[in-house]
Amino acid sequence: MNDIASRDDIKVFVDAFYGGMKSDDLVGHVFIDVMQVDWTHHLPKMYDFWEMLLLDGSNYKGAPMRPHLEINQKVPLTMAHFDRWFEMFSATLDAHFAGPKTEEAKTKAWNIAQTWAYKLQLINEQ
C-alpha cells in the first residue's frame, strides 16, 4: 500500500471513513439522525481539514470545535463516541494506506479525539 501523498488520497480515506461511519450504531446516528449532515457540504470541508493537517493545505476555513459543541448540546458526547470515531478512522486508514503520513494522520486524529472529549466532558459536568 502507498502512503497518503495527495488530496486525492485524502478524499479516498475521508469518503471511505464517512461511508462506513454512517451505519455505525454509536456515532452514525449522531451524523444522520441528530445533525442530519449535508454530505455534499461536509465532505469537502473534511478534505480541506485533513489536507491542512497532513499536507499543509490552505483551503480549510472554520472552527472545528464549534460544530462539536452544537452536537453536544443536542446529544451529550462521551469518550465512547470519540473512541469509536478514532477506531473507525484508524481502521479506514489502515485499509487504504501505510507509511509515515498515515501514522501521522492517526496520531493527529487521536490527539483531536482526546482533546475534544476532554473539553466536552468538562462542559457536560457543569
> Which pLDDT does position 16 carry in this prediction?
97
> Which pLDDT does position 34 carry in this prediction?
86
Instruction: Give Rg (Cα) of the chain.
Output: 14
- pLDDT per residue, tens digit, the chain (126 aa), is 999 999 999 999 999 999 998 899 899 988 888 888 899 999 999 999 999 999 999 999 888 888 878 888 888 888 888 899 999 999 999 999 999 999 999 999 999 998 888 887 766 665
How many angstroms separate the CA atoms of 112 and 48, rounded? 16
Q: Which of 120, 117, 116, 112 is nearest to 50 (CA)?
A: 112
* 71: three-class secondary structure by DSSP: helix
> Which pLDDT does position 57 carry in this prediction?
92
* 63: three-class secondary structure by DSSP: coil
* 62: three-class secondary structure by DSSP: coil
> Which pLDDT does position 62 carry in this prediction?
83
- Domain extents for the chain? 7-125
Spell out the alpha helix ranges (H) of 56-125.
65-74, 79-96, 100-125
Q: Which residues contact 118 (CB under 8 A, 6 or more apart)?
A: none
Q: What is the CATH number of domain 7-125?
A: 1.10.490.10
> Which pLDDT does position 123 carry in this prediction?
65
Q: Kindly tell me the burial class for residue 101, based on how many C-beta atoms sit within 10 Å of its own C-beta (0-12, 13-18, 19 or more).
A: middle
